[in-house]
Amino acid sequence: MISAGGELEIGDFCLFAPRVFVSDADHVVDNISRPYSEQGFTRGKVVVEENCWLGINTVITGSITVGRGCVVAANAVVTRDVPPFSVVAGVPAVILKMFNPATNAWEHVRTPEDSERIAAARTVHRLPSREEYRFILHRTSKVGHLSPLLVGSGQCL
């Protein structure tokens, strides 16, 4: 289910499991004396970058970005930005693992120090940009072409 009041961008090679809900909009509920349905709504922008895997029953809500190469665990509720190449889970979702380019491995994030150490490694050993990552994925993919009927045509509706 996709409910976009503003903008929605989904990168190449993303996988959405059943019952994924993505929304950038929410109801305004400031005045308890007026019906909520008459108070308007917020709208934002949701970006799910390239090669993300959103598990079953995932909820992506708010004006957020899920960075390239991320995995969102089943039943997670993502309410804030997720850095590229991270694994998140929970309600609200928290980072469990991050890819460390210095060790070329996924590493557990159990403490703030773990996150800081990996972030520091990411400044020395740069992760690919979205454009570079998209090129890598297309170059290494065994699928030569996906029908626009299945994956969209790159147009904003």
Give me the active site residues, please: 27
What number of H helices and E strands is found in the chain? 3, 15
pLDDT digits (tens, 9 = 90+) for 88-139: 999 999 999 999 999 999 999 999 999 999 999 999 999 999 999 999 998 9
What's the pTM? 0.85
Is 46 within 8 Å of 24 (Cβ atoms)?
Answer: yes
Show the DSSP H helices in the chain as ranges.
Answer: 112-124, 130-140, 148-151
State residue 156's pLDDT score.
45
pLDDT surpassing 70 at residue 149:
no
Structure token pair of residue 10: 């989904």
120 versus 156: the higher-pLDDT residue is 120
pLDDT, one tens digit per residue, over 12-48 is: 999 999 999 999 888 889 999 999 989 988 888 999 9
* Residue 151 pLDDT greater than 80, yes or no: no
Q: What is the pLDDT of residues 48-92, one digit of tens each?
A: 999 999 999 999 998 999 999 999 999 999 999 999 999 999 999
What the chain holds in terms of domains, given with CATH numbers, is: 2-141 (2.160.10.10)
> Under 8 Å CB-to-CB from 73, ≥6 apart: which residues?
55, 58, 87, 88, 89, 90, 93, 96
Given a cut of 70, whether residue 150 has pLDDT beyond it is no
Question: 50: alpha, beta or left, given left = phi > 0 and alpha = psi -120 to 50?
Answer: beta
